[in-house]
Amino acid sequence: MTPITKDPPRSSDIPIKDIVEYILNLFDTQGFQEYLGEPVSQREHALQAADLARREHAPPALIAAALLHDIGHLLPADNLLAFGDDTRHEERAASWLSRSFGPDVTEPIRLHVAAKRYLCTTEIGYLNQLSSGSRHSLALQGGLLSHEDVAAFERDPHFESAIRVRRWDEEAKVPGASMPNPRTYAAILKQLLLLPNAT
Ligand SMILES: [Fe+2]
């Protein structure tokens, strides 16, 4: 497969029927990048997160959200975090996916960084059990939340889903775990497309 070396086409430039294949191709061409200092690749991390969702019998939209939560890092031109910047990868992913998938998929993705900030703020011990990479990115992502932001986050209709994705995110860092191919999730992704008849 041809590595993707420039900015991805806008999702509006890709027919929705081809979006799933484009995403799976991203895992095949870009997924072997290091996951921000963790002992797994981006591809392994995504597959482990999706597998945790599947094992908890999460609904298909949440399994897709787990699989795709960090796809913002696989879209080209998103390597700034390695240089100490915060790239808002969650916004980038949710925005890019939003023409193809509904808010049950995109909102937990958009909120998964806020969910980390929330858990670090409200749950005793959560911060200390984060990996060093995750602690480092927390500072870049804005640190702890204010009381007002905690309350606003709890009112979000996708709050619970975002927290679930976040917990899978933190667990999905096991080196060498055997996982199925991303194409295992093709049917789930196609079923969630906003225009399923286009598949
Ligand atoms: Fe992640």
If you measure from the C-alpha of residue 45 to the centroid of ligand 1, how many angstroms do you get, rounded to a whole number?
7
- 144 vs 28: CA distance, rounded Å: 35
Cα separation, 102 vs 62, whole angstroms: 11
Residue 106 confidence (pLDDT): 97
Q: If you measure from the C-alpha of residue 158 to the centroid of ligand 1, how many angstroms do you get, rounded to a whole number? A: 17
What average pLDDT does the segment 65-90 reach? 73
pLDDT over 80 at 77, yes or no: no
Beta bridge partners of 87: none
Instruction: Tell me the CA–centroid distance for residue 169 and ligand 1, in Å.
Output: 5
Ligand 1 centre to CA of 197 (Å) is 31
Instruction: Determine the 3-state secondary structure of 38 from DSSP.
Output: coil
Cα(1) to ligand 1 centroid in Å equals 25
CATH superfamily of 51-193: Hypothetical protein af1432 (1.10.3210.10)
Confidence category of residue 84, pLDDT binned at 50, 70, 90 = very low
pLDDT tens digits, 115-136: 999 999 999 999 998 888 888 8
- The mean predicted confidence, pLDDT, of the chain is 87
Cα 48 to ligand 1 centroid, rounded to whole Å: 10
Ligand 1 centroid to Cα of residue 168, in Å, is 8
For residue 199, pLDDT over 80 is answered with no
User: Three-state SS for 41?
Assistant: strand
Task: Give the integer Cα–Cα distance in Å for 162 and 12.
Answer: 26
Domain boundaries, given as residue ranges, for the chain: 51-193
